[in-house]
Copies of this chain bind each other. A is one copy, B any other.
Amino acid sequence: MKVGDRHYRTIWLDEGEPSKVHIIDQRSLPHVFKVETIVNVQEMTVAIADMHVRGAGLIGAAAGFGMYLAARAAAIEGHNFSQELHQAAKMLLDARPTAVNLAWAVQRQLDAMAQGQEVADKVSIAYQTARLIADEDANHCKSIGIQGLSLIKDLSKAKKGKPVNILTHCNAGWLAFVDYGSATAPIYAAHDTGIAVHVWVDETRPRNQGARLTAWELQEHQVPHTVISDNVGGHLMQNGLVDLVLVGTDRTTYTGDVANKIGTYLKALAAKDNGVPFYVALPSSTFDWNIKDGVAEIPIEQRDGREVKYIQGLHQNELKEVLLTPPESKAANFAFDVTPSRLISGLITERGICKASEASILELFPERKQ
Residues in A lying within 8 Å of B, measured CB to CB? 30-31, 200-201, 203-206, 208, 211-212, 215-216, 218-219, 225-236, 238-239, 261-263, 265-267, 269-270, 273, 295, 300, 305, 308-315, 320-326, 328-334, 336-338
Contacts and interface: CB of A to CB of B under 8 A. Distances in A.
A191 to B, nearest CB: 16
A332 B165 CA distance: 14
B235 A265 contact: yes
A4 to B, nearest CB: 14
Interface of A is mostly: mixed
Q: 9 tightest CB-CB pairs across the interface, nearest first?
A: A231-B263, A313-B322, A235-B337, A205-B229, A269-B269, A314-B323, A234-B265, A30-B326, A231-B262
Contacts of A305: 226-227
Given A263-B234, A308-B229, A331-B226, A324 B270 contact: no
Contacts of A212: 324-325
Contacts of A315: 315, 320-323
Contacts of A232: 262-263, 332, 334, 337
A228 B270 contact: no
A325 B215 contact: yes
A216 to B, nearest CB: 5
Q: Which of A206, A234, A295, A300 has the largest count of B CB atoms less than 10 A from its CB?
A: A234
B226 A330 contact: yes
B308 A314 contact: no
Given A234-B337, A235-B262, A229 B206 contact: yes
Contacts of A325: 30, 203, 211-212, 215, 227
A228 B312 contact: no
Contacts of A321: 315
A300 to B, nearest CB: 7
B322 A322 contact: yes
A53 to B, nearest CB: 20
Given A219-B326, A231-B262, A234-B266, 12 more contacts: A226-B331, A227-B309, A230-B263, A232-B337, A234-B337, A269-B273, A310-B313, A311-B311, A313-B324, A315-B315, A315-B320, A320-B322
15 contacts: A219-B329, A226-B332, A227-B325, A227-B332, A229-B262, A229-B263, A231-B337, A266-B267, A269-B270, A311-B311, A311-B313, A312-B322, A314-B323, A315-B315, A315-B322
Nearest to A321: B315
Nearest to A239: B295
Given A273-B269, A322-B314, A323-B315, A230 B215 contact: no
Contacts of A236: 334
B231 A329 contact: no
A295 B238 contact: yes
Contact of A219 (B205, B234, B300, B328): B328
Contacts of A338: 235, 238
A175 to B, nearest CB: 13
Contacts of A228: 308, 331-334
